[in-house]
Amino acid sequence: MYQQVNQFYTLYQKGAAGLARLHSAVALAARLYIAQVFFSAGLTKIQDWDTTLFLFEEEYHVPFLSFELAAYLATIGELLLPALLFVGLLTRFSALGLSVVNVVAVISLIEIAPAALYLHVVWGLLLAQVAIYGGGFLSLDRPLKNYFRNQM
């Protein structure tokens, strides 16, 4: 019995090590997907700024901010943070910033369709994964970390 448990545990450890090697690829896929979603939203905002301002004034109810400031901050956040996330620069910061944008988007709507809420939850989980585990080997954070480590 002990030998069977030991064999199972050894097999489990090998499987876990294999999955750990996938982290960078999965982190890259999550980063690229999230970057595309939020960057597209930012592009939509700048394509018709008058409509964006109207929506922030009438439809979105961002707490504690004027609708103009909220529109500017959301647009800048949806254009800058996804670009950083895409290349893996300041990955955790970018993921946390987009998490704030994501949460504010949900709480700013009086009514949100269940399918839209579901997407925001999925995006939030992907952002949490990137914020917690980082961008992985396939990010600019890694060579920068190595560079600054060697400078000290």
Helix axes 91-108, 23-47, angle to 10 degrees: 50
pTM: 0.88
38 falls within a domain: yes
51 falls within a domain: yes
Let me know: does 24 contact 136? Beta carbons within 8 Å. yes
Q: What are 52-65's pLDDT values in tens digits?
A: 999 999 999 898 99
The pLDDT value given to residue 89: 96
131 falls within a domain: yes
Count of domains forming the chain? 1
Length of the chain: 152
CA 20 distance to own-chain centroid: 20
Q: What are 82-97's pLDDT values in tens digits?
A: 999 999 999 999 999 9
10 falls within a domain: no
- Of 100, 108, 101, 106, give the one whose Cα is nearest residue 59: 108
The pLDDT value given to residue 77: 97
Positive or negative torsion for Cα 95, 101, 105, 107 = positive
2 falls within a domain: no
50 falls within a domain: yes
Q: What are 1-60's pLDDT values in tens digits?
A: 778 888 888 999 989 888 888 888 999 999 999 999 999 999 999 999 999 999 999 999
15 falls within a domain: no
Task: State yes or no: pLDDT of 141 exceeds 80.
Answer: yes
Residue 11 CB neighbours (<10 A) = 10
Q: Which domain holds residue 78?
A: 24-151
Q: How far apart are CA 76 and CA 79, in angstroms?
A: 5
